[in-house]
Amino acid sequence: MGIIDRLLTIVITATATSAVWIVAGGSIIENTSTMRGDQSVRPAEAAPSPDTGPGVVDRENGTVARSTAAPPLDRGGASNPAASETRDLMIPVLNIRASELSDTFTDSRGSGSRLHEAIDIMAPEGTSVVAAAPGTIEKLFLSDAGGKTIYVRSPDRQTIHYYAHLADYAPGLKEGQKIARGQRLGTVGSTGNAAPDAPHLHFAIMRTTPGAEWWEPANALNPYPLLTR
């Protein structure tokens, strides 16, 4: 065979091989590159895309950011607002046991015009009222209905604990003050519209938003199951 014939044979063979590779979608090269010894290795470009997780809205610029972490599983705790915010809640009146509490959350008030949406913790006047959970004193307020009241906002600003009918505030208590769980806030009384012969602490839990004011409408949570579980 002459030199020209040999060159034509090489060109034809190379062209045929290229055509086979193109038709097979590169399977010849892919298959050889994915074999290491006796084990098949998945090419990097064929690996599953990482789970980008749920979209998170960037409120500053309106874009949607993606989290690379998988969302936490709901095990009845962190994803449940009531559980996450109040699992360490303590009874806010000293020397009162859970068995002594009554669920008055759905009782009617105002001649049936509204729901109570709180519980009344009965105790002798002057009994110490303590913080059910840590937070910041948002407001010390004197009202016709609640008498001497305290609004305490949680560290994440999404929960407000409301203490009403106090006889007195603890000495030195002031708005903006950070308080610890169990810290003394005042004493049980019957100020406001409470009956003088039935002193008690009116205790409410309200779910709100970080930017809402203490006086704005909020969603009430029943304290009774949270204090007795």
**Contact (CB, 8 A) for 93 and 129:** yes
pLDDT in tens, 81-128: 545 555 789 999 999 999 999 999 999 887 777 889 999 999 999 999
What is the number of other CB atoms lying within 10 angstroms of the CB of residue 131?
A: 21
- Quote the CA–CA distance of 7 and 168 in Å, as a whole number: 107
Question: Which CATH number applies to 90-228?
Answer: 2.70.70.10
Per-residue pLDDT tens digits for 191-206? 999 999 999 999 999 9
Candidate from 15-19, 69-73, 126-130, 144-148 with smallest mean pLDDT: 69-73
Contact yes or no for 147/118 (Cβ under 8 A):
no
Q: CATH 2.70.70.10 spans which residues of the chain?
A: 90-228
Contact 26, 18 (CB under 8 A): no
Q: What is the pTM of this model?
A: 0.64
Residues 74, 81 contacting (CB under 8 angstroms): no
DSSP conformation class of 130: E
